[in-house]
Structure 1
Amino acid sequence: MSSTKPVSSEDVLSQKYDRCLADFLVKAGVGASVGVVASVILFKRRAWPVALSTGFGAGAAYADCDRSFNPARIPGVRVIPASETPK
């Protein structure tokens, strides 16, 4: 017999929040660094490429986090209520 303890809902929620925060920091950081490089190389050291690419990274992280918390928003996924599941 396997004696695995059930994972509490608070632990699942905190893992999702941690994953979302880490994803946000990575994607916003990559966006900011791409914006800095683009600003220096292409746009004569203007500030808007940095803000725009950071916003793109933050938006992508927000969308991923939204799909993590609400799986019904993933295209092609159908959520079946427990009352309709076959036995």
Structure 2
Amino acid sequence: MSAAPTNNAGPLALEPSEQIIARKFDNCAADLIVNAGIGFGVGVVASVLLFRRRGWPVALATGFGAGVSYSNCNYSLNPYVLPGTKVFKPSA
């Protein structure tokens, strides 16, 4: 059996803000790729099956996917835009 990994910094170690922003940005980029890809696929299927191979359903669905990922990223990076979210000032 192997021992569990230990954290030398202790249980209350804080993550640097640069790493938090980098992690959020990486999640935003991954979300953009996934949502735009799903939108592209839905647009291709809709174009082939419903719209006689026109190009606009592909562009529209890809734009919808990119817009959803932009909105999710905006919520992730800016907590003030979420309705019902209270952001408290840190106590000095």
Which amino acid in the other structure matches residue 32 of structure 2? F
69, 72, 91: which one aligns with 1:64? 72
Question: Which of structures 1 and 2 has the bigger CA Rg?
Answer: 2
Q: For residues 69 and 44 of structure 2, what CA distance do their matches in structure 1 show? A: 19
Q: For residues 45 and 65 of structure 1, what CA distance do their matches in structure 2 show? A: 32
Q: For residues 14 and 44 of structure 1, what CA distance do their matches in structure 2 show? A: 43
Deviations 1:38-72 (A, max 9, x none): 00000000000000000000000000000101011
> Which runs of structure 1 show a deviation greater than 6 angstroms over 4 or more consecutive aligned residues?
none
Q: For residues 23 and 88 of structure 2, what CA distance do their matches in structure 1 show? A: 24
Residue 75 of structure 1 aligns to a residue in which SS?
coil
Q: For residues 49 and 36 of structure 2, what CA distance do their matches in structure 1 show? A: 20
Which amino acid in the other structure matches residue 21 of structure 1? A
Give the TM-score of the pair, scaled to structure 2. Answer: 0.83
Give the TM-score of the pair, scaled to structure 1. Answer: 0.88
Which amino acid in the other structure matches residue 50 of structure 1? V
Percent of aligned pairs sharing the same letter: 51
41, 44, 53: which one aligns with 1:45? 53
| Cα shift at 1:25 | 0.3
Query: Equivalent residue for 1:3?
Result: 10
The two structures, once aligned, show a CA RMSD in angstroms of 1.3
Q: Which runs of 5+ in 2 are unaligned?
A: 1-8
Q: For residues 3 and 75 of structure 1, what CA distance do their matches in structure 2 show? A: 35
Deviations 1:19-52 (A, max 9, x none): 0000000000000000000000000000000000
